[in-house]
Amino acid sequence: MPSLEFWFDFGSNYSYLSVMRIEAAAAQRGVAVQWRPFLLGPVFQSLGWRTAPFLQQELKLAYVWQDMVRECRKYGLPWQQPSVFPRKAVLALRVALWADEQPWVGEFCRRTMALNFGQDRDVESEASVRATLQAMGLDADSVIAHALSEPNKLRLRTQTETAMAKGIFGAPTFFAGQDMFWGNDRLDDALAHCQALEH
């Protein structure tokens, strides 16, 4: 089965759109998803930006929020403009990274994104992450302990460095083989390209 690398951050609003639909879209095309959570903040800093570029442009920020309303309507997704943006979600990213090959990683990511962008709720605290894991019927204590282990913390830093080395400058980003696609609106193109590589 061909596979698509999916690089995302829980604080990224356009990653929300892709997280919520990538598994179903990939399954329709017979493509596996390789979940690649990473920290977008250090990537921006390495490029000389203190935060997301559109946060530094008032007109563009207003456009982005309008665009999110339209895009969520198009995909049938709930939308609540976050009162804190971007929200940090380091523990949630560590959980997703530790679980990147677990069958429940997609559901965890969707639930986390839905809290942030569908309900404007906290996704940073351990209590929030624990509640999400428990709602999924998982052993929250065990998962969080693994996520907070020093090897996993190091792995998230390394994953972020790998993102920069691959030339990633934003999220969501997809890799079909060596070919990079950036932005939620390129998800379908990335999946189609991934399929074509197998033929």
Question: If we measure between CA atoms, which residue out of 144, 154, 135, 131 comes closest to residue 96?
Answer: 144
Segment 119-136, tens digit of pLDDT:
999 999 999 999 999 999
Q: How far apart are CA 135 and CA 159, in angstroms?
A: 28
The helix/strand/coil state of 124 is: coil
Quickly state the pLDDT bin for 46 (edges 50, 70, 90).
low
Segment 137-157, tens digit of pLDDT:
999 999 999 999 999 999 999
What pTM was estimated for this model as a whole?
Answer: 0.94
Segment 61-92, tens digit of pLDDT:
889 999 999 999 999 999 999 999 989 999 99
Q: How far apart are CA 52 and CA 36, in angstroms?
A: 19
Sorted by where each begins, the domain ranges of the chain are 3-197
**Domain 3-197: assigned CATH number:** 3.40.30.10
Instruction: Annotate 60-86 with three-state secondary structure.
Output: HHHHHHHHHHHHHHHHCCCCCCCCCCC
The helix/strand/coil state of 176 is: strand
